[in-house]
Chain A
Amino acid sequence: MGEAAAKLPNIVIHEKLCKACSICVDFCPTNVLEIKGSCVAVKNLAACTRCQLCDLRCPDFAIQIFD
């Protein structure tokens, strides 16, 4: 695979906004995220497919996926 295919997404998490409701963790189809303490954290970045479901369903404006 070329370089572009191997490029990992940049998951931006705003720690001050996250309330650890775990909606993004539970609805992630590839199990990328986990709850660490009182904030969400990235567990397996390579599995992310950039589907944006975490961004769409985050009630707290706390997570977004950039390239």
Chain B
Amino acid sequence: MSEPAVKEKKQKLSVPFNYDKYMRPHKLPHIWCPGCGHGIVLKSLLRAVEATGIDKDNICMVSGIGCSSRTPGYVDFNTMHTLHGRAFSFATGIKLAKPEMKVIVISGDGDALAIGGNHFIHTCRRNIDLTAIVYTNSTYGMTGGQYSPTTPIGDIATTSRYGNIEPPFDACEMAKAAGATFVARGTAYHTLELEKTILAALQHKGMSVVDVIDACPTYYGRMNKFKSATHMMEVIEKDGTVNVKQVDKLPPEKVQGKLLRGILHNVERPEYCQQYANIIEKAKGGK
């Protein structure tokens, strides 16, 4: 009897993921502050990339400017660190030049939705086969904690000392309205769920946007009276979101005011690179 019990125990034994396979280990420790969620999101992304089975030399990671946009510096893909807000434009160029390459755009909420808002919506509209990971931490961390397009009303930032009066963006609703064919949201707290969401986004053919809620304990947290990174993760990410699959089962008062997690929008539409290739064929075969 003892033999099978031992075997069962062995199957449960943990095998940790080897992040070094996709990292530039000599670049660590990274610049992110203690408790910043960006590292957690990066780990989920690397596990999702492993699950897709795509060769790391066939992936290009593009980013703009900001805390989140330091990500490509630490990973061993083809990487580009580009202009503020223009990561989507660079990524579009890379994808059109090399349609077989998997292009991942890493962007912060300020980078993607404010400074690069125009590029973001038009990339969504074209439905080009990119995967955009938008790290939403409700602040501009790198420049000192100014309020960003996702800072909730009434919250304190360096540039809103008496409370923010601007209503925040819902990145998912905007991406959906602009024409992205896969829109999802995850949080750094729900890391395994985030891994699955990013995996689905990477496997989708067309523009996929994953809005990831994470926490900035250094600026947003301290100015808004959060005790620690853990406290932020519990209040904003765990209690502030609800899985889209559970919405129907929960009473309305438990859903009200919370952000939805999970895959929010998934449709099929002609992809831009394919359409472009068709046009080239048509032009060659024309009169």
User: Nearest Cβ in chain B — how far from A8, in angstroms?
Assistant: 12
User: Nearest Cβ in chain B — how far from A55, in angstroms?
Assistant: 6
**Residues of chain A contacted by B15 (CB below 8 angstroms):** 67
**Residues of chain B contacted by A65 (CB below 8 angstroms):** 14, 16
User: Nearest Cβ in chain A — how far from B247, in angstroms?
Assistant: 25
Interface string of A31-67 (1 = CB under 8 A from B): 0000000000000000000101001111111001111
Interface string of B212-240 (1 = CB under 8 A from A): 00000100000000001110010000000
Give the number of chain B interface residues (Cβ < 8 Å).
35
Q: How far does the alpha carbon of A25 sit from the alpha carbon of B188 in the complex, in Å?
A: 16
Q: How far does the alpha carbon of A9 sit from the alpha carbon of B15 in the complex, in Å?
A: 11
Q: Which one of B9, B17, B23 contacts A5 once the chains associate, using CB atoms below 8 Å?
A: B9
User: Nearest Cβ in chain A — how far from B2, in angstroms?
Assistant: 6
Interface of A is mostly: loop
- Asked if residues A23 and B14 are in contact (CB atoms below 8 Å), the reply is no
- On whether A23 and B35 interact (CB within 8 A), knowing A2-B5, A50-B13, A65-B16, the answer reads yes
Give the number of chain A interface residues (Cβ < 8 Å).
26
**Residues of chain B contacted by A52 (CB below 8 angstroms):** 14, 16
- Asked if residues A67 and B14 are in contact (CB atoms below 8 Å), the reply is yes
- Asked if residues A23 and B230 are in contact (CB atoms below 8 Å), the reply is yes
Asked if A20 is an interface residue, CB under 8 A from chain B, the answer is: yes
- Asked if residues B34 and A20 are in contact (CB atoms below 8 Å), the reply is yes
**Residues of chain B contacted by A21 (CB below 8 angstroms):** 34-36, 217, 229
**Residues of chain B contacted by A60 (CB below 8 angstroms):** 28-30, 32, 34, 39
Q: How far does the alpha carbon of A52 sit from the alpha carbon of B33 in the complex, in Å?
A: 22
Q: How far does the alpha carbon of A27 sit from the alpha carbon of B12 in the complex, in Å?
A: 20
Q: How far does the alpha carbon of A56 sit from the alpha carbon of B2 in the complex, in Å?
A: 32
Chain B residues close to A by CB (< 8 Å):
2, 5-6, 9-10, 12-17, 19, 23, 28-30, 32-40, 43, 188-189, 191-192, 217, 228-230, 233
- Complex A-B: 12 CB contacts under 8 Å: A2-B2, A2-B5, A4-B6, A19-B33, A21-B34, A22-B35, A22-B228, A22-B229, A22-B230, A23-B233, A50-B12, A59-B32
Seed contacts A4-B10, A57-B188, A59-B43; 12 additional CB < 8 Å A-B pairs: A2-B5, A9-B14, A22-B229, A27-B230, A52-B16, A55-B17, A58-B40, A59-B38, A59-B188, A60-B28, A60-B29, A61-B23
